[in-house]
Amino acid sequence: MKQSIIVTVLLTIFTSYSFASPTEDINTSIKTSFHQEFKNAQILSAESYQTFTKLTFKMDEAVLSAFYTDNGELLALTRNILSSQLPLNLLSSLRKKYSTYWITDLFEFDRDSQSCYYISLENADTKMTLRSNGDSWQLYSSVKK
């Protein structure tokens, strides 16, 4: 009986670790650059696209995404945020102009130490994405339902 419990526990551990290695498909340049930039981060997933690779990772209890070129150059960093984490002027503007919409996505985008915010809003008729421009919002895209 003890042996079957030990075997079950070992199989569970080995199975868990076999699925917990998302870095196997990432090229060496990206891995090296990532580990230099984010020393204590844990990669959760990797998605390769034609011109970039997106690494989703956990660092200091926050989930972030880093976008890299194939040669390991960091293009941008994003993190999902709550609307209450927006700068007050952007939050106020959002509440005044878009009070009939609900938020479906919101993230902070950082590139070359310049941050901006993207927010997706929706109502019964329209889906739109806004991009922050300083202390105001610009329409980035809009689609009628």
> Which residue did the predictor score with more confidence, 19 or 62?
62
Pairing of strands 62-68, 74-80: antiparallel
- The domain tally of the chain equals 2
Asked if residue 68 and residue 86 are part of one domain, the reply reads no
Q: Convert the pLDDT of each residue in 8-57 to its tens digit.
A: 333 333 333 334 445 567 899 999 999 999 999 999 999 999 999 999 99
pTM for the model: 0.74
CATH of the domain at 88: 3.10.450
CA torsion 141-55-82-88 (nearest 10°) is -70
CA angle 79, 54, 59 (to 5 degrees): 45
Domain boundary among 44, 77, 110: 77
Indicate whether 103 and 145 sit together in one domain.
yes
Residue 9 shares a structural domain with residue 68: yes
| 74-80: strand order across its sheet | 42-48, 53-59, 62-68, 74-80, 102-111, 114-122, 126-133, 136-144
Distance set, CA 84 to CA 37, 57, 127 (Å): 28, 23, 21
Residue 135 sits in the same domain as residue 96: yes
Please give the residue that has the higher pLDDT: either 131 or 3: 131
Same domain? 28 vs 93:
no
67 and 99 housed in the same domain: no
CATH of the domain at 60: 3.10.450.360
Section 87-93 average pLDDT: 96
